[in-house]
Structure 1
Amino acid sequence: MYLCGGGAFAGFLLDNDLIDQLVLKVNPIVFGHGVRLFGGSSRKVELALLGATSYANGVSLLRYDVKRRGAA
């Protein structure tokens, strides 16, 4: 599933172990305000970097595996 925006829904998915991988697109722009990535979720999540791609315009694409609760 591709989700752009929707921090509250992303937080629900995270809290219910429904996210296997997380792909973040990082733009070289700082706004100072915005929607939290996972809404009101306060869950601590361990991520394992699978890959990173940098583009000439400064954008980076980061792909992570999300470690599940209780997984070894």
Structure 2
Amino acid sequence: MRFFFMKDFDVIAVSQRKYTRDATVCHKFAVDQLESMGLIYLAEDHVLDDIVALEMAHRTDGVIISND
């Protein structure tokens, strides 16, 4: 994400909320901060994060860079 911030792109990460629970994340405060800044969108457990990312990219004429 840092590369794209440095190049002045608007960036938002998409993940599933289940991966950000206290039991699975060491730095929950950082995830909470990113969410409050609008830099991460946490999809609910019953929603596929890939679908959310596709819809966001379509709506904003954006692109998706994925690691999965």
TM-score (norm 2): 0.27
Q: Which structure has the larger Rg over C-alpha atoms?
A: 1
In terms of fraction of residues, the more helix-rich structure is 2
In terms of fraction of residues, the more strand-rich structure is 1
**Higher RCO (CA 8 Å, separation ≥ 6 residues):** 1
